[in-house]
Amino acid sequence: MAIGIPCAALAQEAEQPCARYPLGPLDQLVVRSLNGEKINETVTVGADGSITLPLVGRFMAAGVTAEDLQRRLNSELKAYVREPNVAVSIVAAQSRHVSVLGAVNQPGVHVIRGCSHLMDAISRAGGLRQDAGNSIKVTRTTTGSNATASYRVIDISISDLIQAQKPEANIVVEPDDVISIPLGRLVYVVGAVQKAGGFILNERDNMSVLQALSLAGGLGQTPAPQNARILRGSNEKRKEIPVDVSHILDGKNADVALLPDDILFIPSSTSKKVAIRTLEAMIQTATGLVIWRR
């Protein structure tokens, strides 16, 4: 079962971002006493998830945080030390893996080391592509009370992450996280414009006709903007919405919003096209005569 969680719900967790890092094999730890007892050990978590310490012997460390391990060690040491006060810190964390998919330059499985954040994982994947959308989905496996695996999906806004206005958006990634960056939704401008193509909405839900026309470099040489149309929907259910772009440019009509996957079509004016072709032919003829005379 997947549960959607907005990143804002993780704000409290972000205050201590590495506190929840679960220990695992090959992690190096320092265990030392703060009360002067001769406990100052550097240990490595074994392949079976255990460590070996004086007094307590072999002790399971994998799957718990350093704070939890510290609490458990202090409890065990009470049988040998009157007031144990042991601190556990991570010296070197093991390599772990996350999957980064979608609109990044190097999608695939990437190594994370220790306490890594979402931006670290995206950087290891070569950064975001230009056609990335404005959302990131982090799918994380969780284990319920009955030991059954379930999934939660954390939704994060790319603009929140990049602009650093919400620090909690840069969450700590966990082993086996799947980080998905969908492609951005597009609007298309075709016809008598300078630069036809698709333009990414990014963090916007829509784009106005004037904005799209500006991204397309403006009108072409022979436009008929008064006869422009917006094509909306799939091929089977596509509808045409007439829009007078000339009146929008003049400020006589209100601007119109283009939705994702809309196509703004600016037709060409036949009479203007014929006039320009005639003028181009006259220029070519005159140039030919000059060249010939030389």
99 in the same domain as 48: no
Total count of domains within the chain: 3
CA distance 266 to 218: 11
Q: Is residue 294 part of a domain?
A: no
106 in the same domain as 7: yes
CA distance 151 to 178: 11
Q: In this structure, what CATH number is given to the domain that contains residue 50?
A: 3.30.1950.10
Domain boundary among 92, 121, 153: 92
- What does the DSSP 8-state code read for residue 285? H
The answer to whether the pTM exceeds 0.85 is no
Domain boundary among 181, 204, 227: 181
CA distance 245 to 254: 10
6 in the same domain as 150: yes
Residue 93, token pair as written in the block:
């964390």
142 in the same domain as 7: yes
Tell me which residue range forms the domain holding 261.
Answer: 186-271
CA distance 30 to 91: 7
Neighbours of 288 (CB within 10 A): 10
6 in the same domain as 102: yes
Q: Is residue 279 part of a domain?
A: no
Q: Is residue 277 part of a domain?
A: no
| Tens-digit pLDDT string for the chain (294 aa) | 444 444 444 444 444 445 567 788 888 899 888 776 667 888 999 988 899 888 888 989 888 888 899 999 988 888 887 788 888 988 877 767 899 999 999 999 998 876 788 999 999 999 999 888 888 999 998 765 555 668 899 999 888 888 877 888 899 888 889 999 998 888 999 999 999 988 888 767 789 999 999 999 999 988 999 999 999 987 778 898 999 999 999 999 999 999 998 999 999 887 555 555 655 555 455 444 333 333
Residue 16, token pair as written in the block:
């201590």
Nearest residue to 74 (alpha-carbon basis) of 64, 65, 62, 83: 83
pLDDT of residue 238: 84
Q: In this structure, what CATH number is given to the domain that contains residue 192?
A: 3.10.560.10
Find tokens 């966990």 and name the residue. 174
- In the chain, what is the straight-line distance between the N-terminal and C-terminal CA atoms, in Å? 82
235 in the same domain as 141: no
136 and 187 Cβ atoms separated by less than 8 Å: no
Alpha carbon separation from 243 to 10, 247, 250 (Å, rounded): 45, 9, 13
